[in-house]
């Protein structure tokens, strides 16, 4: 079955709007991370967040490990935020990183 | 810090030829490197995990004779696509891990290599 599930699959925002991206993960996945893949394909680490809340500028993330979900908040979105946001986790007991299908974000000017 | 480079960034080749992609950690030593493949509008799929000085561990369904991985030093891993065919066309991404804990440590990603096989 699906171990890392993201929603929504696609999102279009007007510049300045806020959004929340969700990641559900199964019991066999831990050590959540969020990545941003820009339109040129480069992946950037956003957060390593196995639990709790972290903030970095306009972005913040919260993981509730006991309920197997993580949220990525984007505030005051900018056109440069466009791209694909992936959450990924590690297989419990293994050494494999499993990526979700991603949320494709487009921010309109 | 923690910069990973890939070369080439883009390659077009004829069917039947072999293509080598290099992944380098520029400012740190990477005990473990990972190779992913990404088809258009899809997620990243792990192909193999390579540790310096030992044989790579391939994921199920990835042909080890087709995708040769060499991790000769702590800063360099190579992926060779042998006898490439059009279905091998994809975006190949490597990542490198800082610590000895493997993927439990943060992975830093290269910019990717877009392979097109004609």
Mutation target among B4, B23, B57, B103 for the A interface, most CBs of A within 10 A: B103
Grade residue A28 by pLDDT with cuts at 50, 70 and 90: confident
| Distant-in-sequence, close-in-space partners of B18: CB < 8 Å, separation ≥ 6 | B80, B81, B82, B83, B84
With contacts defined as CB-CB under 8 Å, which chain B residues touch A86?
43-44
Angstroms from B79 CA to nearest CA on chain A: 18
Instruction: Pick the most confident of A6-15, B31-40, B69-78, B105-114.
Output: A6-15
pLDDT at A103: 98
**Cα within 13 Å of Cα(B108), Cβ side:** 20
CB of A43 less than 8 A from some CB of B: yes
pLDDT digits (tens, 9 = 90+) for A6-25: 999 999 999 999 999 999 99
Phi-psi region of B75 (alpha: psi -120 to 50; beta: other; left: phi over 0): alpha
Record: contact A42-B102, CB cut-off 8 A: no
Instruction: Judge whether residue B25 has pLDDT over 80.
Output: yes
pLDDT digits (tens, 9 = 90+) for A82-98: 999 999 998 876 667 89
Which residue among A35, A41, A95 places its CB closest to the CB of B103? A95
* B91 closest CA partner among B49, B58, B29, B44: B44
Angstroms from B17 CA to nearest CA on chain A: 25
pLDDT at A63: 96
Which residue among B32, B102, B112 places its CB closest to the CB of A41? B112
pLDDT at B76: 93
pLDDT at B99: 59
Angstroms from A17 CA to nearest CA on chain B: 24
Grade residue B102 by pLDDT with cuts at 50, 70 and 90: very low
Cβ-contact A19, A78 below 8 angstroms: no
| Joined tokens for residue A41 | 């394909």
Which value, to the nearest 10 degrees, does the dihedral of the CA atoms of residues A1, B103, B22, B40 take?
30
Instruction: Judge whether residue B19 has pLDDT over 80.
Output: yes
Q: Residue B10's CB: how many other CB atoms inside 10 A?
A: 10
With contacts defined as CB-CB under 8 Å, which chain A residues touch B42?
101
Residue of B nearest to A38 (CA): B111
Q: Residue A4's CB: how many other CB atoms inside 10 A?
A: 21
Order of strands across the sheet with A19-25? A4-7, A19-25, A69-74, A59-64, A52-56
Record: contact A31-B104, CB cut-off 8 A: yes
Angstroms from A76 CA to nearest CA on chain B: 26
With contacts defined as CB-CB under 8 Å, which chain A residues touch B102?
95
pLDDT digits (tens, 9 = 90+) for A34-68: 999 999 999 999 999 999 999 999 999 999 999 99
pLDDT at B104: 52
Cβ-contact B52, B74 below 8 angstroms: yes
Instruction: Judge whether residue A2 has pLDDT over 90.
Output: no
Q: Distance from CA of residue B110 to its chain's centroid?
A: 9
pLDDT at B28: 86
């Amino acid at each position: 079955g699906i171990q890392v599930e993201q929603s929504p699959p696609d999102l279009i925002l007007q510049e300045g709007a806020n959004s929340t991206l969700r990641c559900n993960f199964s019991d066999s996945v831990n050590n959540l991370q969020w990545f941003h893949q820009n339109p040129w394909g480069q992946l950037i680490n956003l957060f390593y967040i196995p639990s709790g809340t972290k903030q970095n500028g306009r972005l913040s993330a919260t993981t509730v490990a006991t309920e197997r979900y993580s949220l990525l908040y984007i505030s005051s979105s900018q056109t440069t935020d466009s791209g694909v946001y992936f959450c990924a986790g590690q297989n419990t007991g293994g050494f494999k990183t499993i990526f979700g299908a991603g949320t494709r974000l487009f921010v309109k000017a | 810090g923690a910069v990973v480079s890939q070369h080439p960034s883009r390659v077009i080749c004829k069917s039947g030829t072999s293509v080598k992609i290099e992944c380098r950690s520029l400012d740190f030593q990477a005990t473990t490197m990972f190779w992913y493949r990404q088809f258009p509008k899809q997620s990243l799929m792990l192909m193999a995990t390579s540790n310096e000085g030992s044989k790579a561990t391939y994921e199920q369904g990835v042909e080890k004779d087709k995708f040769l991985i060499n991790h000769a030093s702590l800063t360099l891993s190579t992926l060779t696509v042998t006898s490439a065919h059009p279905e091998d066309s994809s975006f190949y991404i490597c990542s490198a891990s800082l610590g000895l804990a493997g993927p439990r440590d943060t992975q830093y990603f290269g910019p990717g290599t877009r392979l097109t096989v004609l």
